Amino acid sequence: MRHAQIISAGSNVPEQIVTNAAFAPQFGESAGDWLVEHVGIRERRWMRDDQVTSDLAMAAGWAALERAGLEPMALDRIIIATDTPDYLSPATAAVVQAKLGALRAGVFDINSACAGWVIALDLAAKIVITEPDESCILVIGAYGMSRFLNREDKKTATLFADGAGAVIIGAGPAPGWLATVTAAAGEYHDALGIYTGGTFRPATAAHVAQYGPPVVQFTRPFPATFNTEQWPPLIERLLARASARMGIRLQPDDVDHYYFTQVNLRTLEATMAALKQPLDKTHWIMDKYGYTGSACLPMVLDDAIAQGKGPAPGSLVLFCASGGGISLAASLWRWH
């Protein structure tokens, strides 16, 4: 039987650093203190004017390929999870295929906002397991949200950032992928997003004049405690599903590494407390990279590995994500 494993990881962030202090003239000196205390963000990275999402994705992909000792022509597919694509159409994965020179690879994008990378990871695993001719898939989370910021909006301008993270999923002799679960609270689809640019509100001159350009915005409140309320039961579902498949009973204590959407450090702390897990089982990067949406999970994995805090062979790794929509996904893996 074929099994899917995570072979390598890579990430990339723009060089331009934007500190909390940069917002002081516009929003007041208290902006930085509030961000550190309530969110955990100290600085973030924004793209240069001549950079686009596919540039970050390509660089993260190259890093993952080099660490796996692979050439781009080894790739069977490229899957990109992003809601900040280069174009509305075609797929940014096609752009990355061309930039990498991965001419054999089939390509497609996934947009499930910030939960997209976990869903893409699940799809890649199932492709490797079920398709004998496909054994090497590049899965990238990429985020260029600085292009869609209203710099006058304190809630979004100080939060969102740019970056990309990637993993290579390959075939192996032992199980890597163990289970994935998804959920959604679609009633909040109109609470946070970029609402200009699609068929609902095309980016025509008339619509832009009436509603403004495409920018990310909070349009109505949703529960501030949503993630801390929804992540633990989602993880419980995931462990139950994995337990049924493995024939053992998995508990939160059995998971060695928890990687969460990097939107708020306080949320990570509260979730780990709810799971009765020590904080050193997780890792965070929002302090130095801001919030990078669909890219943040592979980015935090790669950062943990780079710092010598990553998974050891045989350890259980859990990815848990949520994003606009509201969409949620969690996936459990055995590290090899």
Domain end among 174, 207, 230: 174
Tell me whether residue 53 is in a domain: yes
Query: What CATH number does the domain containing 83 carry?
Result: 3.40.47.10
Is there a single domain that holds both residue 257 and residue 135?
no
Tell me whether residue 193 is in a domain: no
Is there a single domain that holds both residue 164 and residue 239?
no
Is there a single domain that holds both residue 227 and residue 82?
no
Domain that holds residue 97: 3-174
CB 41 within 8 A of CB 291: yes
Tell me whether residue 192 is in a domain: no
Is there a single domain that holds both residue 225 and residue 156?
no
What does 16-52 look like in DSSP terms, one character per residue? EEEEGGGGHHHH-THHHHHHHHHT--SEEEE--TT--
Domain end among 118, 150, 174: 174
Q: Is the confidence at residue 29, as pLDDT, over 70? A: no
Is there a single domain that holds both residue 126 and residue 252?
no
The pLDDT tens digits for 242-284 are 999 999 999 999 999 999 999 999 999 999 999 999 999 999 9
Is there a single domain that holds both residue 234 and residue 326?
yes
Is there a single domain that holds both residue 162 and residue 15?
yes
CB 184 within 8 A of CB 328: yes
The pLDDT of residue 62 is 98
Range in 66-75, 149-158, 178-187 with the lowest mean pLDDT: 149-158
Tell me whether residue 280 is in a domain: yes
Tell me whether residue 190 is in a domain: no
Is there a single domain that holds both residue 141 and residue 285?
no
Tell me whether residue 200 is in a domain: no
Q: Which residues contact 254 (CB under 8 A, 6 or more apart)?
A: 239, 316
Q: What six digits make up the tokens of 137? A: 């898939």
Q: Count CB neighbours of 284 within 10 A.
A: 20
Number of structural domains the chain divides into: 2
Is there a single domain that holds both residue 80 and residue 158?
yes
pLDDT band at 53 (very low <50, low <70, confident <90, very high): very high
Is there a single domain that holds both residue 230 and residue 163?
no
H/E element, 5:
strand 3-12
Range in 99-103, 140-144, 175-179, 222-226 with the lowest mean pLDDT: 222-226
Q: Average the pLDDT over 158-178 and give the result.
A: 97
Percent of the chain with pLDDT over 70: 99
The pLDDT of residue 30 is 67
Is there a single domain that holds both residue 103 and residue 226?
no
Is there a single domain that holds both residue 314 and residue 230?
yes
Tell me whether residue 208 is in a domain: no
Domain end among 174, 202, 229: 174
Q: Burial code of 20-48, b = ≥16 C-beta within 10 A, e = fewer?
A: bebbeeebeeebbeebeeebbbbbbbbbe
Report the alpha-carbon distance of residue 23 to residue 14 in Å, rounded: 19
pTM above 0.75, yes or no: yes
Tell me whether residue 281 is in a domain: yes
